[in-house]
Amino acid sequence: METYQKSGHQSVNGIEMYYEIYGEGKIPLVLIHGGGSTIQSTFGRLIPFLAKSNKLVAVELQAHGRTSDRNAPESFAQDAKDVVTLLGQLDIHKADFLGFSNGGTTTLHIASHYPDVVNKIIVVSANYQKEGLIDGFYNGFGDATIEHMPAPLKTAFLAVNPDQKALQNMFEKDKQRMLDFTDLSDDDLKGIKCATLLMLADRDVIKVDHVVKMSKLIAGARLTVLPGLHGSMIGENLNPDVSDKSIAFTAHLVETFLKGHSA
């Protein structure tokens, strides 16, 4: 596990937002985790590869991990505002963004609504509209309880925030955000002008044709479909059997995209 060179909290829009900084580089790469997750559960295995030649700023969103909550629902729009506000407080005025799952949806919101702060984006296994999730995704979703939350995600949360009530609260707010999923429009995606890399697994919870549609809406977007499950390409902790070589390959694709080289 890579050791961060700096970590801390910033007061951001009414919450205390946690972040970690790794590595060195001119344009930082901001890492935005998935729903129900922490920096480590989403990116713990990817960070060591990316930190070799990039400055990384990894964040934890509202109610997740070490970041406090506010008396308001979670939303992708608010998460986007929180991340951009945090970067301003850290004196970062231009960045690349890599978001996974819900963090990828947040990344699309940032690119759509805060273009001035965006250099390039990498969106991994994310949808911009509710219809992009695989058929059956929402079956029984409204009745889900914390017992349905994957054990590795619970363990990772409690490892950095041992408050069971905070875990329960995060679960309920994440669940509600998915039930109330607020779509971006096709025009929102057409308005994204930054260089974009869309990545997806062939057995993901996001429909491949949905991400193909995204790649056509965002001018010049690149699309990569890799074999695997949701999160496997980045070594997310629900995929413990993924090899370091697979994660290194994903990191290589990210690096070549960020540096403007052909893979």
Give the confidence band of 263 by pLDDT, cuts at 50, 70, 90.
Answer: very low
| DSSP string across 224-259 | EEEEEETTGGGT-TT-TT--HHHHHHHHHHHHHHHH
DSSP alpha helix (H) spans, the chain: 39-43, 47-50, 76-89, 102-113, 151-160, 164-179, 186-190, 208-217, 244-259
In this structure, is residue 19 part of a structural domain?
yes
DSSP state letters, 168-190: HHHHHHHHHHHHT--PPPHHHHH
Q: Could you tell me the CATH number of the domain that includes residue 83?
A: 3.40.50.1820
Residue 239, domain extent: 6-259
Pairing of strands 95-100, 29-32: parallel
- Per the domain annotation, does 1 fall within a domain? no
Q: What mean pLDDT do residues 181-186 have?
A: 97
Residue 70: inside a domain: yes
Query: Which pLDDT does position 71 carry in this prediction?
Result: 97
Q: Is residue 194 domain-resident?
A: yes
Please check the confidence at residue 207 and state whether its pLDDT lies above 90. Answer: yes
| Other CB atoms within 10 Å distance of the CB of residue 25 | 15
pLDDT > 70: percent of the chain: 98
Q: For 238-261, how does the pLDDT look when each residue is reduced to its tens digit (9 = 90+)? A: 999 999 999 999 999 999 999 985
pLDDT confidence tier of residue 176, bands split at 50, 70 and 90: very high
Number of domains in the chain: 1
The values of phi and psi at residue 125, to 5°, are: 55, 55
Quote the pLDDT of residue 3: 79
Residue 54: is its pLDDT beyond 50?
Answer: yes
What pLDDT score was predicted for residue 185?
98
pLDDT at 262 over 60: no
What pLDDT does residue 2 have?
Answer: 72
Q: What pLDDT digit, counting tens, does each position of 111-131 carry?
A: 999 999 999 999 999 999 999
pLDDT in the model for residue 261: 58
Please check whether residue 156 is in contact with residue 40, taking contact to mean a CB–CB distance below 8 angstroms. Answer: yes
Does the pLDDT at position 1 exceed 80?
no
Question: Do 12 and 81 meet the contact criterion of CB atoms below 8 Å apart?
Answer: no
- pLDDT digits 0-9 by tens, 3-14: 788 999 999 999
Mean pLDDT across the chain = 96
Percent of the chain whose pLDDT exceeds 90:
97
